[in-house]
Amino acid sequence: MTRTTEPKPYKVFQRKQLDKIEQIKVLPREQREALDAVSAVFPFRVNGYVIDELIDWSKVPDDPMFQLTFPQRGMLETRDFDKMMRLVRRGATDEEIKNAARRIQMKMNPHPAGQIELNVPRLDEQQLKGMQHKYRETVLFFPAQGQTCHAYCTYCFRWAQFVGIDELKFVEREADTLVRYLRRHPEASDVLFTGGDPMVMSTKVMRRYVEPLIHSGVESLRTIRFGTKAPAYWPYRFTHGPDADDLMRMFEEIVASGRHVAVMAHFSHPRELETEVAQQAVRRILSTGATVRCQAPLIRHVNDDPGAWASMWQRQVELGAVPYYMFVERDTGARNYFEVPLARALEIFNAAYSSVSGLARTVRGPSMSATPGKVLIDGVVHVGDEKLFALKFLQGRNPRWSNRVFYAKFDPGAVWLDDLVPAFGEDEFFFEHYLDELHRRRAESASEPDDVQDTIAAQA
């Protein structure tokens, strides 16, 4: 595998260009047809850097980076896969394939954890469909020009952003709307630019969103975050060319304004950190005064191995980045193919955590970004004769829940919070009544000017 630092021209391959990828041409016909069929349902986009630098084609289909970027047969239920294969093999029209894919997609919980019902805020009686405000301190912003990625992860929990269904997208075009919302909500100290990937935008376009923030006079805004996979999938975004230089200047200007810049980098496998250009990207970001915090979900077939995580965390520390989160794969999309039971996730985390130095133990996990908040699987304990999961809120819809410990019956097959049963004979978890009430009040306040999020903040 080459390890070049000079960028080749950026070239993207999507479903229609599968047959243009030289390495794909040598795969067995059935495997190529399966790729075609599954990529009609799940978003597929890959670039030359990923193909040439990150995938070990001698180990395909088991290579973890291939599993991470090329849709796999097991991502579809057998009945759905067979349906899509029949359409592909008989040369069905694009419209037939699209309609069949839509029926499958709508069964896959496109927006988990109350993203639409509970997270979308309002301003002056209008829903802000390009923003989310789940946690008191952090507002998520989805810039319209950042709703794609340099390559798509097969596990992506935001897959619904990329399949062409407008009503499922989070998109905002006006920075002024964000500024007005922040003025109305001084409890929010952080803005997270997300998508998609905001780093697909040119710096000139990005400045249209960032500069109004840093010149807004909103003193409560202390941190600007950028959620991105670019350091892994297209690190040249930070290292080469005039736009990379301008991006670094923009980070420096944010820092000079007295605010913190956090690049929330998604590294899913240690191979993504092995290339010289990826390491250069991290170092260059850090040279601006920004920080790099690293996070990823635990994904079967990709990184369900303690050694992979320990290697990633150690390399991140060596580069000056901060290991931040190991997430549990969300309950959406092809979760059955990628999910890891919570008990196994905890074993993997603990084995990796115990094999790195204290500097890497800034990482937290395994953590579920569930409807009530970020819930950590903190351990397995025995109380009397009962075996339990010890759980803890890292973040909660109600800020009072932060750092609160609670317990669930141990279940070796559970893969998500909804699979767990409260311990000690309780009928429900302590937060369930609150969520029921929140759903009710949110529905009742649909025509009211005051957002339910105000009430959450007031209760903190």
Mean pLDDT of 195-209: 94
CA–CA dist 225, 190 (Å, integer): 7
User: For residue range 224-247, what is the model confidence (pLDDT) as tens digits?
Assistant: 999 999 999 999 999 998 999 999
pLDDT tens digits along 183-195: 999 999 999 999 8
**Residue 121 contacts residue 131 (beta carbons within 8 Å):** yes
365-377: average pLDDT: 96
How many angstroms separate the CA atoms of 45 and 13, rounded?
Answer: 6
Determine the Cα–Cα distance for residues 180 and 185; give it in Å rounded to an integer.
9
Which residues form the domain of 200? 122-453
According to the model, what pLDDT value does residue 448 have?
38
Is there a domain that residue 165 lies in? Answer: yes
| Total domains present in the chain | 2
So what's the pLDDT on residue 81? 95
Torsion of CA 429, 434, 436, 437, to 10 degrees: 160
**Residue 61 within any structural domain of the chain:** yes
Q: Are residues 90 and 149 in the same domain?
A: no
Q: Which of 263, 264, 365 is nearest to 309 (CA)?
A: 365
Mean pLDDT of 391-418: 96
Separation CA 335–CA 344 (nearest Å): 16
CB distance 279 to 228 below 8 Å? no
Asked whether the beta carbons of 84 and 100 are under 8 A apart, the reply is: yes
* 4 assigned to some structural domain: no
The verdict on 186 and 311 lying in the same domain is yes
CATH code of 217's domain: 3.20.20.70
CA distance 95 to 100: 9
Residue 429 in any domain: the answer is yes
In a shared domain, residues 256 and 143: yes
**Are both 132 and 100 inside the same structural domain?**
no
Answer whether 339's CB lies under 8 Å from 330's CB. Answer: no
Q: Report the run of H or E that residue 263 belongs to, with start and end.
A: strand 260-266
Residue 34 lies in a domain: yes
